[in-house]
Structure 1
Amino acid sequence: MKWTPTEIRPEDVAARADVEGLADHLRTIDLDALLVQAKVLVFRGFHVPEDGLDGVLDLVLPDRLAYVHGNTPRTKVGKNVYTSTEYPPEFTISMHNEMSYAHHWPARLAFYCAKPATAGGATPVVDGTAWLAALDDDLRDRFADGVCYTQNLHGGMGFGKSWQDTFETSDQAQVEEFLAASDSTWEWLSDGTLRVRQLRRSFTRHPVTGEEVWFNQADQWHVAALDPQTSAAMSEILTEDEMPQSVTFADGGPIPAEYVTQIRDRGLDTAVDVDWQQGDLMLVENVLAGHGRRPFEGPRRILVAMSD
């Protein structure tokens, strides 16, 4: 039977259908154990208002993390609360585990629907073990030794993100301290760009369940993941090593475009869509489950926070 997220409504747990009812319910359960078992929890029908979100997040994410060294555009809107990735609505965001390219990634994510899209805009979620099993043996074998990510973070003007936005500081020493602790290598280029390289795993095992999951973002960092028009335009003016972000196998060998397509498409095909209603809250176990975004129309507003 195909895995699906666990949905919890007020009537399922004899709770009031409001934010206070959700808070009371959260105080009575072992959320850590439940989330590991379910992988994704969707709290629906509690009608959480945006001005009541902080109190709920304090219960589900007691130590919220800043989005430091994140690789996607988003806006900070509260106490370590951010907008979801700000990519044009016509694009699909492929499946991924948040910051799986980093030395340290969040263990838990919370997504909150402040305003659903007029059409589309589901958040697909995928069981990481099922995603791994969906990939061909030759692909898994080639990824066994890991991958190498490269970021080119400009100093204030250029393609992609600046290093100041990425690390939420303009202090180079503070950035270097962070990178030294994250098992990364880096260099400052003459134009002010910060180039960062990271050797990372392709798979990982969950510390509690022991499940092995697909755990990298090679398909999102690869030039083949860009839409054809953007890819062609950037390739005319930048070498692959100059791209805002790129990826190779750990040994430096190129990752074939057909591998990138397989990873992306089978992740999306294996996923289950979570369609949003205003006031919904979704928790994702960030090792056991990946997430993405379907295209949408209208002023969709999904907020995100994360914790260890």
Structure 2
Amino acid sequence: MRDLGSWKPLEISPESVGAERGVDGLAEHLDSLPDLGNLLARERALVFRDFGVTREELDTVMDRLLPNRAAYVHGNSPRTKVGQNVYTSTEYPPEFVISMHNELSYAHQWPSRLLFFCDIAAESGGATPVVDAALWLSSLDDEVREAYAGGVRYTQNLHGGRGLGKSWQETFETDSADEVERFLTDAAASWEWLRGDTLRVIQDRPATLRHPVTGEEVWFNQSDQWHPAALGEDAAALARVMPAEDLPQSVSFADGSPIPAEYVLQVRDRGLAAAVDVDWRPGDLLLIDNVLVAHGRRPFTGSRRVLVAMSS
């Protein structure tokens, strides 16, 4: 049986694989791998350290690591698009921890892989913590796992250009309401247009998932990131004066019953406690299996620019 507590990403450097430093050396190494997909499923996350890849050379690597690069459609994190389906990793203020999550686990379709690239390392802090999602699941109390067995319900209120949170235009990367409705129909989501061009989206999703290759059951939801109890005092204060269904985003169990605050705090805190930090040097890359591994961000000082791309 795999020892869940001993996991960490596999670190690959020019010295460890006998490759030349630079993007050509990394590309040659990647081309020599017999099956990157199986390697990633086995190791769960790969860190490519000290190859010295530059931002201008990033496409060469992404073409090999992300065969079907996807857009961040229906994403709820604030990002800036900086290239062909390449984004800033997040734009939350640097003093905040971003808790562990699998990207787009609340959506009907999520990326299978994420690739992070360090363009500028922070002056201090700024690591990307990663956690084995099977370990995260096993770390939770039986009471919490059982309560989540029926799944969760996510509710979003996306304004039409002015309001709290992201607009529906930003979220779906389009100004076409018809296009958004087609997307949501395909996603088996419920939605309605409210006053002021606000779009309310409701989705019922599972709390856990089985990996298509390994068969492992993993924790796979973002309830703690959608619940005001886990988002600090500002979110908690807003939740005290607004009904949950009117918040920019909220979450309940799939039957509509509330998720106790102590449950989401346990989920958040145990995910972070079990995480392994990936510290950044400029030019480093991190490839993760987005089902087997969740990720977050540690606080930092100074400038930090980490880019992310994803693959379906």
TM range (shorter): over 0.9
The alignment's TM-score, normalised by the length of structure 1, stands at 0.98
Superposed CA deviations along residues 20-78 of structure 1, whole A, max 9, x for unmatched, are 10011111112111100000000001000010001110111121100000011000000
- Report if the CA contact (8 A) 2:228-2:235 is conserved: no
1:41-60 matched pairs, under 5 angstroms: 41-60=46-65
1:264 is matched with which residue?
268
Deviation sequence 1:158-209 (CA, Å, 0-9, x none): 0000000000001000000000000100000021100000000000000111
Report whether the alignment pairs 1:10 with 2:14: yes
Q: Which residue of 2 aligns with 1:20?
A: 24
The correspondence for 1:126, drawn from 111, 131, 144, is: 131
Counterpart of 1:88?
93
- What RMSD, in angstroms, separates the aligned Cα atoms of the two structures? 0.8
Secondary structure at 1:129 match in 2: helix
Q: Which runs of 5+ in 2 are unaligned?
A: none
Deviation at 1:237, TM superposition (A): 4.6
8 A contact 2:160–2:197 mirrored in 1: yes
Give the letter aligned to residue 279 of structure 1.
Answer: G
Q: Does 1:293 align with 2:311?
A: no
CA shift for structure 1 position 235: 3.1
Q: Residue 73 of structure 1 corresponds to which residue in structure 2?
A: 78
Identity over aligned pairs, percent = 62
Q: Distance in 2 between matches of 1:72 and 1:158?
A: 16
Is 1:140–2:145 an aligned residue pair?
A: yes
Which residue matches 1:192? Answer: 197
Amino acid of the structure 1 residue aligned with 2:288: V
- Residue 231 of structure 1 deviates from its aligned partner by 2.6
Q: How many residues align?
A: 307
2: CA distance, partners of 1:212 / 1:149? 21
Residue 229 of structure 1 and its aligned partner are, at CA, apart by: 3.1
In structure 2, C-alpha distance between the alignment counterparts of 1:176 and 1:307, rounded to whole Å: 23
> Distance in 2 between the 1:159 and 1:225 partners?
18
Matched, 1:273 2:277: yes
2-side partners of 1:171 and 1:237: how far apart?
A: 32
Give the alignment of 1:95-114 within 5 angstroms: 95-114=100-119
Q: Give 2:308's match in structure 1, choosing from 291, 304, 308.
A: 304
Secondary structure of the 2:6 match is coil
Is 1:215 equivalent to 2:215 in the alignment? Answer: no
Q: Which runs of 5+ in 1 are unaligned?
A: none
Q: Distance in 2 between matches of 1:249 and 1:175?
A: 25
